[in-house]
Amino acid sequence: MRSHRIAGHLVEELVSANLDHSLTPEVSRTLEEHLRGCLSCRGLVARQERLRTGLRELSAPIASRDSDALWVGIASRRARPHRAFPRGLVQVGLAAAVLVVAAGTSVVLLERRPAAAPAPARETVSRSAFVLPGGDGTLTVEQGSALARADAEVGVGARAELRLTQPPTRGSAEIRIRREGDASYGVLGSSPDVAGSTRVSFGGSFPRPEGLVRVTYEVWVHFESDADTVDSAPLIIEVTATRRGEEARSP
């Protein structure tokens, strides 16, 4: 299916951001107008909504069901009539009960998993340096809690830093992203006017893949000025959608 764009952004990205309530009112209205006339994009919205509903159901707590089963078992034991046992049998029973409790405790300890450590605010996944007309720059892909969406614990983002010893009279820069196998690209972040600047910094967050899958992206900086047009060498990044959010690695 051909990817549709609104104001330079993939509709897939805008739909995900709209479900997170992170679009401006103007962009949200533009997206709604597009969806009213585009059947394929409305289908995309329906798939993303079904995915989120499924994730919420998977993460629903099961403690209440375990608790109900425990109390049903206790109630059934209390309802049984009391019988008198010889003293020797009582002592044997107590010893067996101690062994059962000890065995049960060891099983619980073996099955108990330690809680996941909190995600760092930011950590570098991959970084590259490149040369610009009259300067240089760096592109950094990061992950961590500081980059997470409102309903997630971790997220992935990219950040570009440009250092221009010779400020251009006109120019612009973008962080571009392309999914493996796609012909078109998206824009994670941009600085539409770098004229007269010596230092420029901008960035953006990666889109959330559909489903709990791993997606490979190419990420690079596109720079245009009155002197030249430059594309940095792309970083290859694998992004995995997990129940905690988005996590990345450099293969």
Residue with the bigger pLDDT between 30 and 53: it is 30
Among 71-75, 161-165, 183-187, 203-207, the range scoring the smallest mean pLDDT is 71-75
pLDDT of 108 reads: 41
Q: How large a percentage of the chain has pLDDT more than 90?
A: 41
Is the pLDDT at 101 greater than 70? The verdict is no
pLDDT tens sequence across 1-15: 456 777 777 877 877
Longest dimension (CA), the chain: 100
Among 85-89, 115-119, 143-147, 179-183, the range scoring the smallest mean pLDDT is 85-89
Is the pLDDT at 106 greater than 60? The verdict is no
Residue-averaged pLDDT of the chain: 79
Query: Sign (positive/negative) of CA torsion 117, 235, 159, 180?
Result: negative
Residue with the bigger pLDDT between 136 and 25: it is 136
Is the pLDDT at 64 greater than 60? The verdict is no
pLDDT of 113 reads: 52
pLDDT tens sequence across 229-241: 999 999 999 999 8
Tell me what the mean pLDDT of segment 63-89 comes to: 50
Whole-number Cα distances in Å, 180 to 111, 124, 218: 39, 22, 7
Is the pLDDT at 80 greater than 90? The verdict is no
Whole-number Cα distances in Å, 190 to 50, 61, 159: 31, 41, 10
pLDDT tens sequence across 156-198: 999 999 999 988 999 999 999 999 999 999 999 999 999 999 9
Other Cβ atoms within 10 Å of 121 Cβ, number: 11
Other Cβ atoms within 10 Å of 155 Cβ, number: 23
Residue 207, Cβ density class (10 Å: 0-12 exposed, 13-18 middle, ≥19 buried): buried
